[in-house]
Chain A
Amino acid sequence: MNALLLDRIHFAFTVTYHYLFPQLTMGLALLMVVMKLIALRTSDGRWNQAARFWARIFAINFLLGVVTGIPMEFQFGTNWSEFSRLTGGVIGQPLAMEGIFAFFLESTFLGLFLFGEKRLTRLQHLGAAAMVWVGSWISGFFIIVTDAWMQHPLAYHVLENGTYEVASFWKFMLNPWAWIQYAHNMCGAVVTASFVVAATGAFYLLEKRHEEFGRLFLRLGVIAGLISCVIQIFPTGDLHGRYVARYQPAAIAGMEGLFQTRKGAPIVLIGQPDERTQQIDNPLAVNDVLSFLIYGTTHAEVKGLDAFPPDQWPSALPLLYYSYHIMAGLGTWFLLLMAVAAVLLWRGKLYSTRWILWPILLSFPLPYIANTAGWMTTEIGRQPWLVYGLIRTSQGYSAHVSAGNALFTLLGFLGLYSVLSILWIVIVYRFILTGPATSADALPGPGTPTLTTA
């Protein structure tokens, strides 16, 4: 294994693991604000307890997001030094801004939210929750702006020493690719949080434990889940797909497994791409649909991989194809599940319908897989470029760091993150078993002043 490949695996592994946490906390932050809002408007103390319960789960996920996030910023310098040297004048900007505008906000108000419930008024405590939400979403924005510039570079110029600099700050921040990707990504985070909240509710009802909270969680999770699943597909997913098709046609051909350019291009639902024979094995495909999805007419011509020189093909083609299909397939399943659950909720049957509670419970890991697959689609689709059309991935890594050193730290991260995963699962599972109403704070009735669990 050479250093380049190890550096790629290093980044891919650490960022994939890292993103397990923010996708939950960014979505959950919004849902906690909703819980605090309902508590304030209805004076129903149960919603405050619900918020406190989720705050505990939020806190541990946030912490793991922070400690696994620091290596991401460092890795630009450690493993991708040539990329950092060349583009620091562009992407250093949003990364520095993330620290200054988002992390200070998030960490301070999370401290107030978790430790300050007694010292703050109810409205102030809601405000602290809202600031945590805003901070986490600003943080997400700066990361997406960074990624969007690598996907779709604009508003830059090249200095004499060959490095890149931002030519227009506002054009860079208003990169349309960034805003579309941001909407799609944040919505995906809400899907994860909704499924986790709904699955916890389903677990309580099936287990006949904390049933009162089970109903609250299920209701909130299903409503938020349905809304986010719809927006995830239309308009955000649709827009994102069209944008990729316009600016990264080779990526879309790889995602769809379209080897040959053709009019009335089909969409492949299932099938295995074979790079050698350049066709899809065992295909289940619907003609014309891909042309329609991208161009709005069934006869439009869609460029296949044959339209591009092989050195510009996405370098891990089958992985790209599967990532995209897993994401899209799961997105469809989420919408179906949440739509049926919402109908049952509306008709007042959701809480007692076991055949829907079971799939809701079992589906909670799936949004994690879908979000990961979505990110893999976008990042593998960008290959072989590090910055699309400007810098190849093979130009960006740290040539002075030997493969042996890169493997050493990759193994270190693998080991450390394995241990963290076990602790994380044990602790979150224990929180869920203990439930919102602990002995330390018995159920307060409506209007009871808030209590902190000591």
Chain B
Amino acid sequence: MGFVWFWIVAVMIAAYVVLDGFDLGVGILSAFLARAEDDRRTLIRSIGPVWDGNEVWLLAGGGTLYFAFPLLYASSFSGFYLPLMIVLWLLICRGASIELRMHTDHEVWRTFFDGLFFLSSALLAIFFGAALANVIRGVPLGADEYFFLPLWTNWRVGAQPGILDWYTVIGGVVALVALATHGALWLVLKAPGELEDRARRAASVLWIVLLLVTLISLPATIAVRPSALDNYRAHPILFLIPALVVAMLIGILSFTRQRKPLAAFLSSSLYLVFMLVGAAVGLYPTLLPSSTDPGRDITIAKALAGPHSLHVGIVWWSFGLALALIYFITSYRLFRGKVTAESGYGH
């Protein structure tokens, strides 16, 4: 049961990263790719009907985490109090800027909301990357299974780290670059004309940076958490996952060059998935490692909810997720193809 729920939560987080990832990426790129008002509207329209649904994966994933591993939810959410609250504020600013920009005709307000959209998207990407890196690095769990982390201490990875240290900053940068690339590939798929060309050029440049930071992040992870390799050593077949990460990176580049935008976008989606799966394999069966004493790690066994809830949960979760997939396929099919001028609403 614990194994199943571990992977259910991991899949939901991966779905969130892949789906909200491209609209965060569009936000990051909006400051660089959009030159005229038309471009900006096209960017927003390319994510208009779907970004809100993408964000639901964060809520649904969070809810599922709460339900399956209450102790993990309680400990990590209160321990990461400050960064989570900042994430909430950023999500509020971002949602508001997307919606409110559509409803104003004034240059000043539009510029303001565009700036907010860019800034909140970029910071969210960095925070999400840093959050994952925090989980991999571990936190100073107390005997009562709680902890509290300040935003930063001395930027070193020690027994009493802050949310931000050199390792988690690398995590943030990887996420920023990966989601920007992902967003660029989405725009190649959705944007018409010159904007599409600009997005393709951006994707090529970002790809080189992404390759670099990915290659830096792998040894950094092993340096910070040597035990991340335990599962890999026990089952060498798992080394396929990092190999697939590299394969997907190559896929992004070659499909972009061959003008196969859908294949390139799917490669980048799978790149994100395999990065996350690789991290999850490194952690399993730990959910939140302790930076001080491995005996205090929050493991699946410690955090798992009662058996009855989980059995009932499997039933409704499978049913509910099947429904959600139908909605998503319907929606993405209906809005497939390039963005057109009159596909907005409001003004």
Contacts and interface: CB of A to CB of B under 8 A. Distances in A.
A167 interface: yes
Given A115-B48, A400-B146, A74 B92 contact: no
A228 to B, nearest CB: 28
Contacts, number: 239
B152 interface: no
B197 interface: no
Interface in A131-188: 159, 163, 165-167, 169
Contact of A78 (B77, B92, B313): B77
Contacts of B89: 412, 416
Interface in A422-444: 423, 427, 430-431, 440
B66 A92 contact: yes
Nearest to A406: B81
A132 to B, nearest CB: 12
B84 interface: yes
A390 interface: no
A47 B50 CA distance: 27
Nearest to B66: A92
Given A100-B324, A166-B312, A416-B92, A116 B49 contact: yes
A241 interface: no
Interface in A59-101: 59-60, 63-64, 66-68, 70-71, 73-74, 76-79, 81-82, 84-90, 92-93, 95-101
A108 B328 contact: yes
A383 interface: no
A169 B315 CA distance: 12
Contacts of A77: 66, 73-74, 76-78, 84
Interface string B79-104: 10110110011011101100110011
Given A78-B77, A400-B146, A454-B342, A66 B95 contact: yes
A96 B81 CA distance: 21
A350 to B, nearest CB: 31
B63 A99 contact: yes
Contacts of A375: none
Interface of B is mostly: helix
B27 to A, nearest CB: 15
Contact of B146 (A81, A88, A409): A81
B73 A88 contact: yes
Nearest to A410: B85
Among A108, A119, A452, find the residue whose CB has the most chain B CB atoms closer than 10 A: A108
B345 A452 contact: yes
A99 B324 CA distance: 10
If over half of A's interface residues share one DSSP class (helix, strand or loop), that class is named, otherwise mixed; here it is helix
B3 interface: no
A405 interface: yes
Interface string B303-344: 001101100110011001101100110110011000001111
Nearest to A68: B92
B56 interface: yes
Contacts of B341: 454
Interface of B: 48-50, 52-53, 55-56, 58-64, 66-71, 73-79, 81-82, 84-85, 88-89, 91-93, 95-96, 99-100, 103-104, 146-148, 305-306, 308-309, 312-313, 316-317, 320-321, 323-324, 327-328, 330-331, 334-335, 341-347
* Cβ-closest 3 pairs across A and B: A88-B70, A77-B77, A165-B306
Given A86-B70, A111-B52, A454-B341, 5 more contacts: A74-B77, A77-B77, A81-B78, A115-B335, A409-B85
21 contacts: A60-B99, A64-B96, A70-B58, A71-B88, A74-B84, A76-B77, A88-B305, A92-B68, A92-B309, A104-B327, A108-B330, A111-B49, A111-B335, A112-B331, A114-B49, A115-B335, A116-B334, A165-B305, A166-B306, A399-B146, A412-B89
